[in-house]
């Protein structure tokens, strides 16, 4: 969590208490994230106070936590850049965010795996935040004055993402979230359809699979969106799997009024009692009349059907079945399976994804003794385990031994890269290198300063030297991908700078404070009167001029790369630094002695000069010794006469307070 030293302790206490509060509202944990549609805006009216779990840090060194969080999930359907804006309901609200690529990962790994972060913004400033084409860096770390918008990250087709929105401000003021401005497509344009339907062994329960996830709230509890023909039974209830703690589902269980006999049936979709069918995240309905044919056969063994798509460097294989397989028939040590192929690998465990007791599961996870990191072809084979059987389905039928499913893997990839810096005075050229190999065929570079490339070995040009560059590379061979992020320091920033007081006295050393920034600098000073110096902090002395004279002090700086920078400042030399006050003035606009002012007060600090009329009224007051009175009061010219003045200041050299007073004659 960001900590600001300027905050008072009593302001920190509510934050510390809040950080210890678990988040229970749906959407406030990665596992219950809101599904989002790229064409819609999302409004969060209030933000419950909770959170405080540290999130994985990719580029930012501070300890960062999800404060009063909400999480959003989406899939990329077309590669490109992602643009979005978070608009607080209160202008004083400070919202932060982080974007994670969780493809093939447990969503809760965002708390432990820094490499999942692909962009983030933890700016300490209130106001709108997000990503835009004007952002210069993918990673904006904690602190005031940091940009509120990051560069737009590049999304990859088929990857799943989580967006964390963290509300650092200790209030419940909400926000709106909208997507746009980028080229990535995160809206699933697939029209909703029924995908599959099956009946339980008794024929009184139908399990419906949809082709995409649909909103739980659009399903009625009585299942009125579904009708069976011939009408041997009616639907009496419906529930969406995962709807108890989430927002969407792709599986619905329908309970029938009676048992079905073996035969052929049709399950069709209609508008339910809530006047809609089922709706997807973008509000598109499951079409009325969409239907599936259901053939209820006499009992038969359930075959070992298929493998879920194998991920990169798999340590586990996910077997899929048409029917639920009984959990207690799966040998925990994995002896029901063996794997053969390009190189040796052993099965060490297996488990069915069951919830309670001995209910069934269509998915069995087989664990291997090592990750398959090298390319090769394999097959998983069903055999009788040490429990004396293979697998039984929910109808009590055993799947015969000897069934097998082939699969293959490709080599893992490494996104680690190197670089070579070519320093220049105005532009630094950085040549990046990636070794390739392992069938890598895609390179996606985010090179900072709004530069991108899809080359294996790109070249970047940098013009903003003081800011470290954050460079990200994503490599892929179509099967495995990897991400690497590095910070590159450019050490040739050069800026000539110095500070000197403008008003100076003759025959006294002038104090110059050299504030130049650079590497192994050489200095060349000229002072405008023929003098010069190569010292770091020279102290030139000017002779007494005939009249007030301006001189330009010029500093040329050269660094170890041969680059140069120049700056100059003007100083004004007075003929004397003896403070004097004239005894009279003639404000007739002839350009001579028109104003009454203090002379030569170069070393006067905490200066105050006041002029009074004979009735004790102040007619002029100033704290700038160069300002003078023009003989007017409220725009009216004063008559010839005598006025009293009062002068107070502190001598800059001695620190001694000085007080003087006297009279002046105004002459018309």
Give me the CATH number covering residue 150: 2.60.120.380
Task: From residue 290, give the alpha-carbon distance in Å to each of 225, 255, 274, 295.
Answer: 11, 19, 18, 17
- Specify whether 265 is located in the same domain as 126: no
Residue whose C-alpha is closest to residue 195's, from 265, 269, 116, 114: 269
Ranges 20-34, 53-67, 308-322, 512-526: which has the least confidence = 53-67
pLDDT at site 16:
38
Residue whose C-alpha is closest to residue 215's, from 206, 207, 225, 204: 225
- The Cα 150–Cα 1 span in angstroms is 20
CATH of the domain at 482: 2.60.40.10
Count the domains in the chain: 6
Does 493 reside within a domain?
A: no
- Specify whether 275 is located in the same domain as 358: no
Q: For the residues 83-96, what does the mean pLDDT come to?
A: 93
Higher pLDDT, 557 or 42: 557
Does 3 reside within a domain?
A: no
Does 248 reside within a domain?
A: yes
Please identify, among 255, 273, 296, the residue that sits at the C-terminal boundary of a domain: 296
- The Cα 460–Cα 453 span in angstroms is 9
Does 459 reside within a domain?
A: yes
- Specify whether 399 is located in the same domain as 429: no
Does 83 reside within a domain?
A: yes
CATH of the domain at 608: 2.60.40
- Specify whether 13 is located in the same domain as 85: yes
Residue 11 clears pLDDT 50, i.e. is over it: no
- The Cα 311–Cα 375 span in angstroms is 12
CATH of the domain at 214: 2.60.40.1220
- Specify whether 433 is located in the same domain as 476: yes
- The Cα 365–Cα 538 span in angstroms is 76
- Specify whether 163 is located in the same domain as 81: yes
pTM beyond cutoff 0.75: no
- Specify whether 606 is located in the same domain as 657: yes
- The Cα 318–Cα 328 span in angstroms is 17
Q: Tell me what percent of the residues of the chain surpass a pLDDT of 90.
A: 76
Does 185 reside within a domain?
A: no
* Residue 589, C-beta contacts closer than 8 angstroms, at least 6 positions apart: none
- Specify whether 158 is located in the same domain as 83: yes
Dihedral over alpha carbons 176, 180, 184, 188 (to 10 degrees): 60
61 pLDDT band, cuts 50/70/90, is low
- Specify whether 96 is located in the same domain as 74: yes
Residue 586 clears pLDDT 70, i.e. is over it: yes
- Specify whether 344 is located in the same domain as 428: no
pLDDT at site 466:
83
Exposed, middle or buried: residue 560 (CB in 10 Å: 0-12, 13-18, 19+)?
middle
- Specify whether 15 is located in the same domain as 119: yes
**Backbone dihedral region for residue 89 (phi beyond 0: left; psi -120 to 50: alpha; all else: beta):** alpha
- Specify whether 481 is located in the same domain as 517: no
Does 335 reside within a domain?
A: yes
Strand partners, 524: 556
- The Cα 345–Cα 30 span in angstroms is 34
Please identify, among 488, 514, 545, the residue that sits at the C-terminal boundary of a domain: 488
Which residue matches tokens 């293959």?
Answer: 408
- φ, ψ for residue 116 (rounded to 5)? -75, -20
- The Cα 505–Cα 305 span in angstroms is 95
Domain limits for position 595 = 584-666
- The Cα 648–Cα 513 span in angstroms is 29
Please identify, among 237, 271, 296, the residue that sits at the C-terminal boundary of a domain: 296
Per residue in 191-220, pLDDT (tens digit) is: 999 999 989 887 899 999 999 999 999 999
Does 328 reside within a domain?
A: yes
Q: For the residues 296-312, what does the mean pLDDT come to?
A: 89
């Amino acid at each position: 969590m960001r900590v600001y030293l300027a905050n008072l302790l009593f302001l920190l206490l509510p934050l510390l208490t809040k950080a210890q509060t678990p988040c229970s509202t749906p959407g406030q944990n990665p596992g219950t994230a809101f599904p989002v549609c790229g064409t819609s805006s999302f409004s969060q009216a209030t933000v419950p106070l909770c959170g405080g779990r540290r999130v994985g840090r990719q580029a930012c060194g501070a300890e960062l936590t999800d404060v009063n969080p909400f999480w959003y999930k989406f899939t990329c359907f077309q590669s490109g850049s992602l643009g979005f804006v978070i608009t607080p309901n209160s202008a004083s609200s400070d919202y932060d965010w982080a974007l994670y690529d969780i493809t093939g990962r447990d969503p809760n790994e965002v708390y432990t795996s820094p490499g999942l972060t692909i962009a983030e913004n933890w700016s300490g400033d209130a106001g709108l935040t997000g990503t835009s084409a004007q952002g210069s860096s993918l990673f904006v770390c904690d602190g005031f004055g940091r940009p509120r918008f990051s560069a737009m990250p590049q999304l990859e087709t088929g990857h799943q993402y989580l967006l964390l929105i963290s509300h650092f401000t200790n209030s419940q003021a909400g926000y709106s979230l909208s997507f746009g401005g980028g080229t990535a497509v995160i809206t699933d344009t697939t029209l909703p359809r029924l995908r599959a339907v099956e009946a339980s062994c008794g024929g009184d329960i139908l399990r419906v699979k949809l082709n995409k996830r649909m909103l739980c709230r659009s399903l009625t509890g009585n299942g009125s969106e579904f009708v069976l023909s011939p009408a041997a039974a009616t639907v009496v209830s419906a529930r969406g799997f995962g709807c108890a703690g989430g927002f969407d589902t792709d599986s619905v269980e329908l309970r029938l009024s009676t048992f079905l006999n073996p035969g052929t049936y049709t399950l069709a979709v209609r508008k339910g009692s809530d006047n809609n069918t089922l709706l997807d995240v973008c509000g598109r309905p499951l079409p009325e009349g969409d239907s599936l044919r259901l053939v209820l056969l006499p009992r038969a063994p359930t075959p070992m059907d298929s493998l879920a798509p194998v991920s990169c460097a798999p340590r586990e294989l996910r077997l899929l079945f048409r029917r639920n397989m009984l959990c207690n028939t799966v040998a925990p040590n994995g002896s029901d399976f063996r794997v053969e192929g390009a190189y040796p690998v052993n099965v060490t465990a297996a488990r069915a994804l069951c919830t309670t007791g001995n209910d069934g599961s269509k998915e069995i996870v087989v664990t291997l003794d090592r990750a398959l990191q090298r390319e090769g072809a394999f097959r998983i084979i069903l055999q009788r385990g040490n429990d004396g059987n293979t697998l039984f389905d929910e109808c009590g039928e055993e799947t015969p031994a000897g069934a097998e499913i082939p699969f293959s893997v490709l080599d893992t990839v490494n996104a680690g890269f190197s670089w070579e810096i070519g320093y220049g005075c105005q532009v630094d050229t950085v040549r990046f290198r990636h070794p390739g190999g392992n069938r890598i065929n895609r390179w996606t570079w985010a090179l900072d300063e709004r530069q991108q490339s899809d080359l294996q070995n790109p070249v970047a040009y940098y013009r903003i030297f003081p800011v470290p560059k954050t460079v990200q590379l994503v490599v892929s061979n179509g099967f495995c991908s990897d991400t690497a992020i590095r910070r590159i320091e450019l050490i040739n920033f050069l800026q000539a700078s110095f500070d000197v007081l403008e008003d100076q006295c003759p025959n006294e050393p002038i104090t110059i404070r050299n504030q130049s920034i650079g590497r192994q600098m050489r200095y060349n000073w000229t002072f405008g009167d023929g003098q010069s110096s190569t010292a770091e902090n020279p102290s030139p002395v000017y002779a007494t001029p005939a009249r007030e004279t301006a001189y330009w002090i010029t500093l040329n700086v050269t660094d170890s790369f041969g680059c140069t920078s120049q700056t100059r400042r003007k100083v004004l030399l007075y003929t004397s630094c003896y403070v004097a006050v004239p005894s009279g003035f003639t404000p007739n606009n002839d350009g001579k002695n028109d104003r009454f002012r203090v002379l030569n007060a170069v070393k006067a600090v905490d200066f105050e000069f006041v002029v009074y009329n004979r009735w004790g009224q102040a007619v002029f007051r100033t704290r700038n010794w160069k300002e003078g009175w023009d003989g007017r009061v409220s725009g009216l010219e004063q008559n010839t006469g005598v006025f009293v003045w009062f002068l107070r200041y502190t001598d800059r050299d001695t620190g001694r307070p000085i007080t003087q007073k006297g009279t002046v004659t105004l002459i018309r």
